Amino acid sequence: MDRTEHLNRKAIEEMVKRKGIFQILSSLEENSKSFSDINEETTISSSTLSKHLKFGVKDGLWEQKLETLDDGGSKKVYSITEYGEKNLIAAEKIDLIDALEQKRAAENAYNDKIEEFIEKVPDAIDIESHREMTEALDDL
């Protein structure tokens, strides 16, 4: 693998690891949208979305344009690029988007179970039982 391929692979890895990138690409698949439109359609926080939109423009996944409003004002709108479409299609072909959604659902279920554990288990274990359990775990 030459240096260029390595840099491209590294850039792709960084892009894919950004939470919500494919949500944004999916949102832009049909037509151009403003920040608030994308924010309403995704589960990404506003601050993260703002950062990702900047990265996506820099990475060439979507482009940002200024759209003139009827009242004479303007707003930024984002539209998917050909490169962004190719990435979205590739991700869909290998079920990456479904896998990401399943991962997110599993993480949410895990976090819910942690909360349930924190709320319920200590009440059900008396202090002596807790000490015995802790000592038994320490012996492992």
As a whole number, mean pLDDT of residues 30-40 equals 95
Beta strands 74-80 and 33-34, pairing class = antiparallel
- Residues 93, 81, 8: CA angle, nearest 5 degrees: 70
Q: pLDDT-based confidence at 49, cuts 50/70/90?
A: very high
CA dist., res. 122 & res. 101, Å (int): 32
Query: What are the residue ranges spanned by the domains of the chain?
Result: 1-94, 97-140
Return the pLDDT at 123: 58
Least confident of 26-35, 48-57, 93-102: 93-102
Token pair for 70: 């009827």
pLDDT of 134 over the 80 cut: no
pLDDT of 53 over the 90 cut: yes
Least confident of 11-20, 27-36, 46-55: 11-20
CA dist., res. 133 & res. 140, Å (int): 11
Return the pLDDT at 46: 94
CB contact at 8 A, 61 and 81: yes
Task: Say which CATH architecture domain 1-94 belongs to.
Answer: Orthogonal Bundle (1.10)
Q: pLDDT-based confidence at 56, cuts 50/70/90?
A: very high
pTM value > 0.85 = no
